[in-house]
């Protein structure tokens, strides 16, 4: 009697699907790039290409080379058409004799690091979940970061590796995770939002968050004189951006296209008020969820749970910075494994949990896919901005709800 087995492709793991998918995509892109040109190839992925290739990797290397010759890298356009808006540690590359000619080597290296981390994050699941993971990876938002070889790819690799390594009972692994996060915020600052690990409230996560916060504060004080220069050099724009100001800047753009005077709402109290109201709604929703004893969206004490907290914290934290180019949405990939686990495990016995997990996953997919478009430099669309705000509310609710629930469970009163 023969045993009926599933088709071979159904027996493939998610890690294999993601790896094969990325390799096939690379081969297709290389073939298309040489056959039809790189601009057309990138536009087929809804990515607006920039020149030279791997543009964002050229910027720090160009400025590092100029700084090594005595130029002030924080003067706008002094060494590149884009401003230098990174911490001064990047300028050390110039002391090694590196310049823009090394951009392609750095680009390949950071893309490979990000790809390897992504495979590790998504492995251990079904082939179907691997397909969903591949859909998120090939989204225009993530591919924009690849096309530009943005340094955020390396930061993503560091934060993702920290999530994979973190284990609460292991002091050594916790120390390594803290060091990886620390390297991340030394290079780009925003990984400090990984302090949201405290949402999984216990002594070890609070200690992790406290150490990261203290190290981050020390670093910010050490480079304080550069912070205002960095902030001034960061573009604030609706173009291919997310953040609490992006929609209001886009509204002015639409008014300008209609021949009307800009309303200037982005520079008023209205965006901040909208953020406060949204956060207030998230707190309210979290309190209701906890009061009802709901177990929906409980962040697990696993690598995927840690990655979710890091990814959610970075999304919500950067959203409150004002505007960010959409390649930074790559950090939402950190959230997807936990969403998949909720769908596969926790949600099977709970229709409400299943609905919430599916809704979150659909919202993440919408944010990753709708924010990018081939004509992104001249078009403003409302749909992605609405999904950006919805995701901000949803992830904040999950983080706050888990913090309250975990804190209450850890309290002496709850123990009684």
pLDDT of residue 3: 46
Whether the per-residue pLDDT at 85 is higher than 70: the answer is yes
Neighbours of 4 (CB within 10 A): 5
pLDDT of residue 64: 96
Work out the angle at residue 78's Cα, subtended by the Cα atoms of residues 75 and 79, and round it to the nearest 5 degrees.
Answer: 130
Neighbours of 15 (CB within 10 A): 18
Whether the per-residue pLDDT at 379 is higher than 70: the answer is no
Whether the per-residue pLDDT at 23 is higher than 80: the answer is yes
298: left (phi over 0), alpha (psi -120 to 50) or beta: beta
| Three-state DSSP state, 85 | coil
Please name the residue ranges forming H helices in 88-139. 92-95, 103-122, 127-137
- 383 versus 347: the higher-pLDDT residue is 383
Tens of pLDDT, residue by residue over 248-261, are 999 988 888 888 88
pLDDT of residue 89: 96
**Of the ranges 6-20, 132-146, 178-192, 195-209, which one carries the lowest mean pLDDT score?**
6-20
Please provide the average confidence, as pLDDT, over all residues in the chain: 91
Helix (H), strand (E) at residue 2: none
What is d(CA 101, CA 263) in angstroms, rounded to the nearest whole number? 44
| Residue corresponding to tokens 């058409």 | 81
pLDDT of residue 14: 92
Could you tell me the sign of the dihedral formed by the alpha carbons of 407, 337, 278, 241, in that order? positive
Confidence of residue 415 (pLDDT cuts 50, 70, 90): very low
Tens of pLDDT, residue by residue over 107-152, are 999 999 999 999 999 999 999 999 999 999 999 999 999 999 999 9
**Of the ranges 297-301, 341-345, 359-363, 411-415, which one carries the lowest mean pLDDT score?**
411-415
So where are the chain's domains? 9-415
pLDDT of residue 380: 74
Residue range 346-375: average pLDDT?
Answer: 84
**Of the ranges 90-94, 104-108, 109-113, 288-292, which one carries the lowest mean pLDDT score?**
288-292
Residue range 57-73: average pLDDT?
Answer: 95
């Amino acid at each position: 009697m023969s045993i009926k087995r599933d088709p071979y492709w159904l027996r493939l793991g998610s890690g294999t699907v993601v790896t094969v998918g990325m390799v096939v995509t690379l081969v297709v892109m290389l073939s298309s790039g040489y056959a039809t040109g790189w601009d057309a190839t990138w536009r087929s992925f809804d990515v607006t290409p920039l020149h030279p290739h791997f543009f964002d990797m050229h910027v720090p290397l160009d400025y590092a080379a100029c700084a090594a010759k005595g130029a002030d890298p924080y003067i706008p356009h002094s060494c590149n058409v884009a401003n230098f808006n990174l911490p001064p540690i990047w300028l050390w590359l110039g002391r090694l004799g590196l310049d823009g000619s090394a951009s392609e080597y750095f680009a390949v290296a950071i893309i490979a690091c990000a790809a390897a981390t992504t495979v590790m994050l998504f492995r251990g699941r079904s082939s179907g979940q691997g397909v969903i993971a591949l859909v998120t990876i090939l989204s225009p938002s993530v591919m924009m970061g690849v096309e530009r070889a943005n340094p955020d790819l390396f930061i993503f690799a560091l934060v993702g590796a920290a999530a994979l390594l973190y284990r609460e009972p292991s002091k050594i692994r916790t120390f390594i995770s803290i060091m990886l996060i620390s390297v991340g915020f030394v290079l780009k600052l925003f990984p400090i939002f990984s302090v949201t690990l405290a949402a999984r409230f216990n002594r070890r996560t609070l200690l992790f968050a406290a150490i990261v916060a203290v190290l981050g504060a020390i670093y910010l004080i050490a480079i304080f004189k550069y912070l205002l220069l960095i902030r001034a050099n960061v573009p604030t724009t609706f173009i291919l951006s997310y953040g609490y100001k992006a929609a209001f800047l886009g509204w002015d753009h639409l008014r300008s296209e209609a021949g009307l005077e800009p309303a200037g709402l982005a520079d008023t109290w209205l965006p901040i008020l909208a953020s406060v109201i949204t956060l207030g709604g998230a707190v309210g929703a979290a309190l209701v969820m906890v009061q009802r004893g709901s177990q929906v969206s409980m962040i697990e004490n696993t690598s995927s749970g840690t990655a979710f907290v890091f990814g959610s914290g970075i999304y919500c934290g950067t959203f409150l910075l004002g505007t960010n180019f959409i390649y930074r949405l790559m950090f939402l990939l950190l959230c997807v494994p936990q969403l998949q686990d909720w769908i596969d495990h926790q949600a099977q016995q709970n229709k409400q949990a299943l609905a919430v997990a599916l809704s979150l996953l659909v919202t993440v997919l919408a944010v990753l896919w709708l924010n990018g478009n081939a004509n992104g430099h001249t078009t403003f669309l409302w749909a992605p901005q609405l999904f950006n705000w919805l995701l901000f509310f949803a992830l904040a609710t999950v983080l706050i709800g888990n913090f309250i629930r975990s804190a209450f469970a850890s309290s002496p009163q709850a123990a009684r």
